[in-house]
Structure 1
């Protein structure tokens, strides 16, 4: 009689342990996939991140171009005043501005 009363308990425990073991097996199998997925997310650049990076580069380039244009105007004024060194600087600034325009836009 004592064995008979233990059988339902053993069957219930068996079913519970089977579910627990199955869950653990699924976790063990999916762990490498989750780890690789996280690594891929960490190493890839999303489209929005790429857009932000491109926007920063364009703003930096526009700032540089603005600075060159201001220097060019100064050198141009000095060149018209008869300063030969300013004329050479103006030509150099024109070349740099042209190269910057070709490279970025």
Structure 2
């Protein structure tokens, strides 16, 4: 009789244990996948970062061009075409 009662109550008693065991078993997979998400960059993140980088480069070029034009207005004899930083080009070009 005890065995029947124990077997009948086992699913109720083990319900929480089974879900806990499932969480423990899948924890390493979830931890690794979260780490991969943190270390990799999605295409949308890469596009956003590239756009931000280009806007900063264009802002830098604009400031340098403005300073070159101002210097040219102050001293027109030393005025040459702008040959400073250009957004989108590396320094090696």
Q: Which has the higher contact order (CA 8 A, sep 6+)?
A: 2
Structure with more helix by fraction: 1
Aligned equivalents of 2:88 and 2:38: distance in 1?
A: 34
TM-score by length of 1: 0.65
> C-alpha displacement at 1:94, in angstroms?
2.8
Q: From the CA coordinates, give the structure whose radius of gyration is larger.
A: 1
> C-alpha displacement at 1:18, in angstroms?
5.0
Aligned length: 91
TM-score by length of 2: 0.71
Match of 1:44 in 2: 40
> C-alpha displacement at 1:17, in angstroms?
4.3
User: CA RMSD of the aligned region, Å?
Assistant: 2.7
- Secondary structure at the counterpart of residue 42 of structure 1: helix
The runs of 5 or more residues in structure 2 that have no matched partner are none
